[in-house]
Structure 1
């Protein structure tokens, strides 16, 4: 487990907007536009015609989505009392999120327009912004208020707000986010690494569905042996039983839910050796000969890390951007002597800063690397580059193989994407690494 800290931080938050019954696409809603006091004009009330689109309607949690807010018609009029020059109008607005993810997205547009006669309606504008997907499921996007800023000959703001409550805002776009694949954290532990034929070994299986039937079975390579018992997982997902190991071919023990072992519902094998006892009659040997027996005893699976603190680079206030860093190097030692591989999984909490402001854990990504020491029996595979997040991602692994084992060095460069205009301060999260 490691603690990560970054300088700067923050998150978007705003009242949620209800999804409503309006179909997605172009929508119309009543608007109250308040011209700048300097213009001496009365408020303008009328419909706003708008459309919201997203660049990715089916993202994964952790993806960045670009939102476009187009105002095709507005009741707001030219406030300057004369012709508004070309390229003097700058729009900014809000897009309301509801459903699986709530909040709001700030959108802005370029300073681009044709000349507008005095008293004429202001032209159509287009605004864009981005947000990070933090929850799986359907999220609705509805238009919120917008401001039309004119910079010539004076800096004037016309503020347009929906006449209805935010919860009644018409839905103009929807997206459906999928969750990141979850890691299989099921594992099995043995009370002893070896025993004579028929000996009972204490087996503890963890990480299973509470209340499920868990099969504990012997394995010889990729095939199961005749050794098998069934136990029920308790409220914490732990199943405990004694497995009589009678089959001399058994070299490992696995645990799984369902009718057969699978990578999604089963644990990796725990090495076990059946040590046969030579009968007394067979021990007699001719005079002047000796029987020499050597036993190689299996060890365990362990890891160490260099340091528990990770300090990410600072980002300037207002700009946001990437805060880079590197995890403390992890050394994995596999001395079990069986055919089982291993996986090293990482999970990260949200980053918490001043006043409880948070940066989602899904904003942290990494690029893992893994190397096997000379003489290791198997190769090490680095996990995929991408989001770490609270759901977890694979940092490194080795496959099931015969023989398996060795010493492996695991490292990763990490990057935290800090949103723009994040409140200054230190933001801290916890990165947990689990080896199984």
Structure 2
């Protein structure tokens, strides 16, 4: 699964998709079953239309929301943030109708509470057609940050920019009039394994090819040489620069970004990218303003990042019955779990389970008596390879059922199964006993 520091840096996507009821009967017949989006907020916004529009600044109201993939992370976890502008304050500043897929949004999300700072976010070049003078449509932007402090962390929508690439390359920057805007989402972070707390922020989330972006960093090794580099998905581009961290481990440097496929910027110590010696990626978009040659047509497409999810083939398992006075192994099979990892990027995943005590007629069977034998299969063509957890007790503390490692490119489809065995004491009172096995995907 990689080192602890690698795990602490990976993107965590936590989803509790359900539980499986496990039932066993002592001395009788088999038993049956026992039985995160942020809020929209409004805030005053000051938008500056492109000079070519010849109109004054727009003071209006933006409606937006911020959501995260994990509202209960640990210190060291990487959290994915989605900033959705539901109703922009600005509109198409010209009488010219804008065609589809010419808008590229970028912005920032403000952190408050236990951890402060800004998260840079960027969205795809995607939009429906916009009529002349009509309101801009809703759009979403994503970015990531690493949790460095335990406690409640608030997330508020911040400044955003709408870049349009049609006839002219134009920007409509919109700033929060009275920052910070109201908090849209709150997460509660808990203490975790000491983490790599290196962090970077960008002076801008977008720029034209050849433009320089300011990269600021903190918590790097004092005096270390730090490489600034562009990233295109999981790979590094040819755009690099070096800076030296000061006595406090901070730096501020400039990176010239030429590659139009750039999706983010990283900073790292050493000869090559390493998650335990680096920070980022911070979202960054290069405005592709390459002119189309006469007689040619420019074709574009977007590969959309998906999610990490799981589904179960059922939520009830009936274990075999045992006899009073003899007890022994009550066995069965976990309902097959299907994991789909369509996120892209370097993060692996882990599927864990924990079980409650089995309760029955005036008695209980301790959770620690349930053990499993995990198995995991990888669908052909998947970049990652699934590894089954170890055979052994599940218990209330939990155990790993299956996992994939972090890597340069990860993802795929996987099926997870397990043989189950409950060690029932010999003179457990007759009756039906049931417990709940909860599976968590992170």
With structure 2 as the length reference, what TM-score do the two structures score? 0.45
Of structures 1 and 2, the larger Rg is shown by: 1
